[in-house]
A = this chain, B = another copy of it.
Amino acid sequence: MNMLPVIPFAHSLMEIAVKKGGFAIDATAGNGHDTVFLAKLVGDSGKVFAFDIQPEAVIRTKERLQKERLDTRVELFRTGHEHAGECIPAGYHGKISGAIFNLGYLPNSDKSVITRPETTIAAVEQIFAMLETGGVIAIVVYHGHEGGAFERDRLLEYVKKLDQKQAHVLQYGFINQENHPPFLIAIEKR
């Protein structure tokens, strides 16, 4: 496949935006895959702030980081991403170069616990405020589950209104696939 699937494309944006020694956010730590990915990008001298409201996600992420010996690069918060602004020390505000969201539910877990538009948008707003110029928020939008379409529509409505002088908002997705494939919304700070 010559064109990148959604998740590899999201990762390629992070690889461009996040440098060694930089600071990044995993807004939905989940099973820890993206936390590990970001921890590798920031390197030894960088830092990742990771959030998840579900205890099992925090446990799985911590285990994965320890296994990869990356746990010292990551500060893991067992709380919703809508608290990112207060949890991340002020010294890092304006210096975040990348952030990832995977919307929806935690795979292999309780599917009734899902991300929700109010808290997702609050988190995007706070994290956008903490980005450096050129920093990118990549949001992988899963919308096939109950409540997913509602969150997708609220989020699209919100990002379409972001001032084009302050942000580039990109939508990237495959439009001929069945079963509601995830797509990407990426926001770059100007």
Contacts and interface: CB of A to CB of B under 8 A. Distances in A.
A160 interface: yes
Which 9 residue pairs of A and B lie closest in terms of their CB atoms, listed nearest first?
A169-B176, A162-B176, A2-B16, A171-B175, A164-B177, A2-B17, A3-B188, A2-B134, A164-B176
**Which of A136, A176, A178, A186 neighbours the largest number of chain B CB atoms within 10 Å of its CB?**
A176
A167 B160 contact: no
Interface of A: 1-3, 13, 16-17, 134, 136, 156, 159-164, 167-178, 186, 188, 190
A1 B169 CA distance: 12
Given A2-B16, A16-B2, A134-B2, A173 B174 contact: no
A161 B177 CA distance: 9
Nearest to A187: B176
B13 A136 contact: no
Nearest to A136: B2
A98 B59 CA distance: 47
A19 B162 CA distance: 39
Given A2-B188, A13-B2, A174 B178 contact: no
